[in-house]
Structure 1
């Protein structure tokens, strides 16, 4: 066998020696890393999840049902972990990145500005989008898309009951996409129109009020009409301005349209209720809260709810300002007509339920469908340390809600006095039009000279169209950009929870 020269032998020995040194060093490092005597810092998931469960054990309505730490996997992702600690009866608590959570509750989103419903139009399972509205100033609004329009394709792809979720990913994304707009003609046919490119806007602020107008009926009635789509605490002046318009016009009746309103803040819901009801008294109980056993129950008057019971003079001054505005603009109505459907939830239901003890049940006239049944309140919990150490926020259920009379048991929703399903009438009429069956029903009750939708030729034609298209709403679909929220009861718990 050939023997390498001496110089080669030395090089080989040097290489082997160096390799052995590296091997031993690596082995030592591995031993140190795995040393059970050296505690490892908690992972990001563990830190987040322990913060979540600490807060939930304090004020969550079902706090005693949360499993012990030994039964929890703190290494799960925050969303998966949150699901493991929720009570089986909890349908509405959720977790989200704190920035996204606060934006959503403020009506801020990345959107093209459409509210949509999905319709299956035949036995084959074809699906189309029916436009509920286009938000004022949004890309969809600027492109000329309006309520009652039809969208048959997104990015050139038609929808079916089997693929619509995948097709809608583009609609819910942040990149430009195209929509094929269509309309329904007088022969009940879907006619294609223009293909429109839409680019979502980041940080778009929805306006809670989509329409406020005064309707003059044939019988001489002046009716205030308010299409209110979100109970946004950050938009009180817009609501006050609408009621100022109604007050100045001398309206005798009010139609409050909450058909797609998924809820929001208790504060703005109380302002609305106070602006409507006859004989408003700031000291009367407006709402009752039932917390978990650690916090008990409590009743709040309007004044207390607005901050009048605070030790902070600024909060008391703010409460006085709100009360003064309500008293100045209050319509003093003994009856109100509220349009609410199976998309109406949370603060929308609260307004219906909490006005009833003041006006009597029969005088809060609910037109539409049975509501969602969100009779619970939540709060926003985020890490307010500076800087924050937790990037997530939680919106847990913390109270069951009841009105002045103590009633709040409507988990299956509130049933209407006049049941009307707008899906039975296509195409949808513009917001505020008397060709809309829900509004037409309200106006016909206010002014008997107006034909109810059951006898209207226009409504009959719309009914035939819906039947001709075999139109059925797609079961289980909820527009993610207009989802329902539990009632946000504010920040009374914030200080003790920010550990």
Structure 2
């Protein structure tokens, strides 16, 4: 931390309590820096003037923290506790927001937009939804799956699948949830990608997706990052190359700038479109150069973003705009994580500790990095209280806006997107378990982990 933390100047002066566990030990370092005129303000998520959490973190399989790289063991879905209308006596249940591919929930036939009114034959109410929701997320429960239709603001519930078992299963969360090609009414081919995490293990699959987009003649592209809170810098460079293509080959996608000591020593990191060479790997990363052959060479791209959208996702927006590619953002203001992490790993006995401190700012080719308040959308729309439709279709409000804009080239009105404002719902306060399903992937523009 003294050598590499982005705001490291006063770390040697902090009095440390070495009896603390590793989570609290790191926290006291970060708090100590913050006490010096809020020097590390950009290290963390803020809400209403208060820091919710630091981005810098340490992970371990030792007690008191979570292990990295382990598979999840649950039902494999994300839910919102919902009342289908403005009144307390309107139907209450769980709206399925997404289902992870390859999980027990998917195998059971659950999909986005399903409405669950019973768990283990117990009706969901405002009094018991916390307990039933956590049981549902854990898995090994029986539910009824219902479809919901609205007519003049009144919801009609139709049982779709009665009494289905959602088992608990072990799985690894993939990066790509959905990719499809939509043919607009005017014949234009629009690619749609629901991308949930920038993860190098899925870069080969990402290339295959774009090869299919090219084969089907995709002219416009919608990248859905509404639930993507970051990941690997190299994967972000791969996706940036797939969008930008040969006309931008060799141009700067990302420039990483470090603390004053490292900067004075001449250290800087550069990631270029279509070039394997990078600051992280001595032999380069060939997926970046391979991406040139799979690229769409686009002049514009449509990105769906929300408050969850962060870090490597925002790096994509900033990096493409630095190349003068028109990034048209739909949704709400993004999180505002304009800095990134390097990782160091150390083993101690049977335990592994991986430290991810914030060590660099993310600049684009124009030197712009001032997006700590997030990127504001070009078409602002908060669909929190709109009943969800299937991703990448006109039934989903944010997808519908982006697809309409991509099809016509003109910024749409709500009427032209088939606004579903009459499908209003009331979302109950989520439990921590419900919230974690949307943000469980560790955020951050991350580089490859190094050994200590």
Q: Could you state the TM-score of these two structures normalised by the residue count of structure 1?
A: 0.74
Alignment-derived partner of residue 49 in structure 2:
none
Is 1:464 aligned to 2:422, yes or no? yes
**From 136, 140, 149, the counterpart of 1:176:** 140
2:17 alignment partner in structure 1: 73
Alignment of 1:383-402 (within 5 A): 383-384=346-347, 388=349, 390-402=351-363
Residue from 294, 310, 313 that aligns with 2:261:
294
Shift of 1:111: 2.7
Measure the CA separation in 2 of the matches of 1:223 and 1:303.
23
163, 166, 175: which one aligns with 1:198: 166
Change (3 A) 1:398 1:196: farther
Shift of 1:284: 2.0
Asked if 1:263 is matched to 2:227, the reply is: no
Alignment of 1:2-17 (within 5 A): none
1:451 Cα shift? Answer: 11
Q: Does 1:329 align with 2:290?
A: no
Among 414, 419, 425, the alignment partner of 2:380 is: 419
Match of residue 8 from structure 1: none
RMSD of aligned C-alpha atoms? 3.3
1:371 equivalent to 2:331? Answer no
Give the Cα separation in 2 of the matches to 1:453 and 1:199. 43
Which ranges of 4 or more aligned residues in structure 1 deviate by more than 6 Å?
475-478
Aligned length: 418
Q: 1:74 to 1:389 in 2, by over 3 A?
A: farther
In 2 relative to 1, CA 410–165 (structure 1 residues): closer, same or farther, beyond 3 Å? farther
The Cα offsets for residues 15-54 of structure 1, whole Å up to 9 and x where unpaired, read as: xxxxxxxxxxxxxxxxxxxxxxxxxxxxxxxxxxxxxxxx
Which consecutive unaligned segments of at least 5 residues does structure 1 have?
A: 1-55
Aligned to 1:345: 310
Select which of 427, 437, 444 maps to 1:487. Answer: 444
- In the TM superposition, what is the alpha-carbon distance from 1:489 to its structure 2 partner? 3.0
Cα contact 2:274–2:290 (8 A) shared by 1: no
2:414 is paired with a residue whose SS is helix
User: What's 1:215 paired with?
Assistant: 182
Alpha carbons of structure 1 residues 230 and 457: separation in structure 2 relative to 1, 3 Å: closer
Residues 239-258 of structure 1 aligned to structure 2 (within 5 Å) = 239-258=206-225
1:103 aligns with 2:72: no
Cα offset for 1:76?
2.4
5+ residue gaps in structure 2?
35-40, 45-54
Query: Would the alpha carbon gap of residues 200 and 59 (structure 1) be closer, same or farther in structure 2, given more than 3 Å must change?
Result: farther
Instruction: Indicate the structure with greater helix content.
Output: 1
> Partners in 2 of 1:169 and 1:215 — Cα distance?
36
Greater Rg over alpha carbons, structure:
1
Taking the aligned partners of 1:365 and 1:355, their CA distance within structure 2 comes to 11
Bigger fraction of residues in strand = 2
Alignment correspondent of 2:4: 59
SS of alignment partner, residue 110 of structure 2:
coil
Residue 158 of structure 1 and its aligned partner are, at CA, apart by 3.6
C-alpha distance in structure 1 between counterparts of 2:106 and 2:281, whole Å? 46
Match of 1:5 in 2: none
After superposition, the Cα gap between the structure-2 partners of 1:475 and 1:303, relative to the gap in structure 1 and judged at 3 Å, is same
